Structure 1
Amino acid sequence: MKFHLAINLERMDDATDIRAVRDHTLKMVQQADAAGFEIAWAAEHHALEMTIAPNPFQLMTWWADHTDTIRVGCGVANAAYWHPINLAGEAAMVDVLSGGRLELGLGSGAYQREFDRMKPGLDQRDSYKYMQEMLPLVRELWQGDVTHNGTHWQFPAATSCPKPLQDKVPMWVAARSPITFDYAVENDCNIMCWPLAMPMDEAVKYRAQLDESIAKAGGWNGTFALMRHTAVYDNDADRATTIDAIRAALGRFGNVMIKKGEVVNGFPEQVALADLDGNARVDPSMLEENLMFGSPAQVIEKLKAYEALGVDAFIYYASMGLDMDVQQRSMDLFINEVMPEFT
């Protein structure tokens, strides 16, 4: 099993210095680089302090400039917010500046609140259509001049400037629905999944959907990556801090997911946990069971279950509103006590 890191610049209130967040994020990426993580993932979100990533390509370029071998991934760009020529050029520039370390992920977005501001009138449930038009077009733009007359974009002959260094840039799709699994497999893309706070059964469902898509397509040589909020701890204080942090983060995440509550100056108000999707989503014992939380031994056991399921890469999602020092201790434990079991 390979390991990836997903980390955001995040602030839960304005008392946190953005410079401290900046420095913490880079330190975590550099630590992952030194430990042999394969990819560091940057997200794209807008007008939210809990995920400060208005342009993932900026973050990826910054990380690449301060690391040696870890690849830098966009996990993921929302296709509906971009023009294909713009996205192809931005992504290719990262590949050039990083020395050929680009991994490009495309997705359909998560929050209707963002669409209401970034792409007014578009229902998030329909945004996959933009991704499906964008992905093959970016590949074509990387090869040379393209004239396009599609549903969502039209333009005369143009190409990507620059072109990527890599002959074949690894492409990723964020998948949850069968139609997206089918599309990713048919188009030779790697797949990343995020079961949120749902139990192992959700990951099993994703694997089954992937296997069905592979059977329909007659084969697939891609990577199946699964992301989970991760915290490794060896004392009761860090355990309690972790559980409290994820419950608070889920309350704010619920705000933007179901548009219940206000977002003031970029900070989502916390939704009452009882208003979220049943107590199972926020019950402390359920969270500890479902997420990649626990002692090093417990985390090893969970990872081996994912490995047995057919997960090729585990994405360590570090950002959950957790105190930066506790995040760092978790990363230390993961690298020193968990990863050796898989290398």
Structure 2
Amino acid sequence: MKFHIAINLERMDDTTDMLAMRDHTLEMVKMADKAGFEVAWAAEHHALEMTIAPNPFQLMTWWADHTTDIRVGCGVANASYWHPINLAGEAAMVDLLSGGRLELGLGSGAYQREFDRMRPGLDQKDSHKYMQEMLPLVRELWKGDVEHQGENWQFPKATSCPKPVQADVPMWVAARSPATFDYAVANDCNVMCWPLTMPMAEAEKYKALLSEAIEKAGGNWNGTFACMRHTAVYANEEDRAATMGSIRNVLGKFGNLMMKKGDVVNGFPENVPLEELEGNVRVDPTMLEENLMFGSPETVIEKLRAYETLGVDAFIYYASMGLDMEVQKRSLQLFIDHVMPAFEKEMSLAS
């Protein structure tokens, strides 16, 4: 099993210093680079302080400039917010400036609030059409001149400038529905999934959908299956309590966005009362500690073994949950020092 890290520039309120938050994010990525993590993932979100990422390609270029080996990926760019020529060029520029370390992830977005501002009139449930048109078109633009007359974009002959330095840029799709798994496999893309706060059964469901998609495609798929979870490794009760408080706080804000309850003021989502959260946004402390990648190093190793047995090729350590910066760093260092060594043989074989 390989390891990736996903981290955001995040502020839960306006008391967090922007520069300190910026420097912390880079320090975490540098720690991951030194430890042998394979990819650092940057998100795309707009007008939200809890995920400050209006252009993931800027973050990826910044991280690449301060690291040596770790690859940089957008997890994920929302296809409907971009023009294909623009996205192809921005992504290829990251590949050029990073010396060939780009991983390009595309998705359909999550929050209707963002669509109402970035793509007015588009319903989130219809946004997959943009991703499905965008992905093969970007590949064609990287090859040379393309004239396109599609459903969502039309333009005369053009190409991407620059071109990627990699001959074959790894492409990723964020998948949840059966149709998206089918599309990812049919288009030779890697797959990332996020079970949110749901039990292990949710990850098992995604693996089953992937297996079904591979079978439909004749069994021909050599991609990577990655699974992301909020992660916190702790060795004392103080850090455990801080983790549980932070995840419940951030889920209250996440519930605001997913359930369209509450307001967002100056970029800060109001918290939805925890008792009103339901579905994928569940906040019972016992359930959270069981379902998420929380616990002592020994507990986290045991949980990761279950994902490895399931067939997860890469685990994405999702560091961002409004947790105190020093607690975040302690967690990552515990993961590096005590969890990763248990998988060194697997990591070596996967390289």
State the TM-score, normalized to the length of structure 1. 0.99
Specify the alignment match of 1:181 in structure 2.
181
CA contact (8 A) 1:245 1:321 kept: yes
Q: CA deviation at 1:258?
A: 1.0
Matches within 5 A, 1:44-59: 44-59=44-59
Specify the alignment match of 1:140 in structure 2.
140
The sequence identity of aligned pairs, in percent, is 79
CA contact (8 A) 1:6 1:42 kept: yes
SS for the counterpart of 1:281 is coil
Question: What residue identity is the alignment partner of 1:5?
Answer: I
CA contact (8 A) 1:40 1:70 kept: yes
Render the CA deviation track for 1:255-281: whole Å, top value 9, x for unaligned: 011110010000000000111116981
Specify the alignment match of 2:249 in structure 1.
248
Question: What residue identity is the alignment partner of 2:262?
Answer: G
Runs of 4 or more off by more than 4 Å in structure 1?
none
Question: What residue identity is the alignment partner of 2:41?
Answer: W
CA contact (8 A) 2:108 2:124 kept: yes
Change beyond 3 A, Cα 1:280–1:21: closer
Question: What residue identity is the alignment partner of 1:190?
Answer: N
SS for the counterpart of 2:231 is strand
Change beyond 3 A, Cα 1:279–1:207: closer
What CA distance in whole angstroms lies between the structure 1 residues aligned with 2:274 and 2:123?
A: 26
Q: CA deviation at 1:2?
A: 0.1
Q: Does 2:205 align with 1:205?
A: yes
Matches within 5 A, 1:5-24: 5-24=5-24
SS for the counterpart of 1:338 is helix
Specify the alignment match of 2:320 in structure 1.
319
Change beyond 3 A, Cα 1:121–1:280: closer
Extract unaligned runs of 5+ from structure 2: 345-351
What CA distance in whole angstroms lies between the structure 2 residues aligned with 1:248 and 1:36?
A: 31
SS for the counterpart of 1:41 is strand
| CA RMSD after TM alignment | 0.8
CA contact (8 A) 2:251 2:281 kept: no
Render the CA deviation track for 1:113-138: whole Å, top value 9, x for unaligned: 10000001100000000000000000
Render the CA deviation track for 1:43-78: whole Å, top value 9, x for unaligned: 000000000000000000000000000000010000
What CA distance in whole angstroms lies between the structure 2 residues aligned with 1:18 and 1:197?
A: 28
CA contact (8 A) 1:292 1:302 kept: yes
CA contact (8 A) 1:280 1:286 kept: no
SS for the counterpart of 1:321 is coil
What CA distance in whole angstroms lies between the structure 2 residues aligned with 1:18 and 1:3?
A: 28
CA contact (8 A) 1:252 1:269 kept: yes
Extract unaligned runs of 5+ from structure 1: none
Specify the alignment match of 1:232 in structure 2.
233
SS for the counterpart of 1:311 is coil
What CA distance in whole angstroms lies between the structure 2 residues aligned with 1:220 and 1:160?
A: 27
CA contact (8 A) 2:72 2:103 kept: yes
Render the CA deviation track for 1:64-93: whole Å, top value 9, x for unaligned: 000000000010000000000000000000
Specify the alignment match of 1:295 in structure 2.
296
What CA distance in whole angstroms lies between the structure 2 residues aligned with 1:301 and 1:30?
A: 26
SS for the counterpart of 2:169 is coil
Question: What residue identity is the alignment partner of 1:27?
Answer: E
Q: Does 2:43 align with 1:43?
A: yes
CA contact (8 A) 1:84 1:137 kept: yes
SS for the counterpart of 1:10 is coil
Question: What residue identity is the alignment partner of 1:182?
Answer: D
Change beyond 3 A, Cα 1:145–1:280: closer
CA contact (8 A) 1:78 1:131 kept: yes
CA contact (8 A) 2:7 2:318 kept: yes
What CA distance in whole angstroms lies between the structure 2 residues aligned with 1:279 and 1:10?
A: 21
Render the CA deviation track for 1:186-211: whole Å, top value 9, x for unaligned: 00000000000000000000000000
Specify the alignment match of 2:126 in structure 1.
126
Q: CA deviation at 1:231?
A: 0.1
Question: What residue identity is the alignment partner of 2:57?
Answer: F
Specify the alignment match of 2:196 in structure 1.
196
What CA distance in whole angstroms lies between the structure 2 residues aligned with 1:18 and 1:231?
A: 23
Question: What residue identity is the alignment partner of 1:84?
Answer: P
Change beyond 3 A, Cα 1:141–1:304: same
Q: CA deviation at 1:36?
A: 0.2
State the TM-score, normalized to the length of structure 2. 0.97
SS for the counterpart of 1:5 is strand
CA contact (8 A) 1:115 1:122 kept: yes
Specify the alignment match of 1:309 in structure 2.
310
What CA distance in whole angstroms lies between the structure 1 residues aligned with 2:279 and 2:334?
A: 32
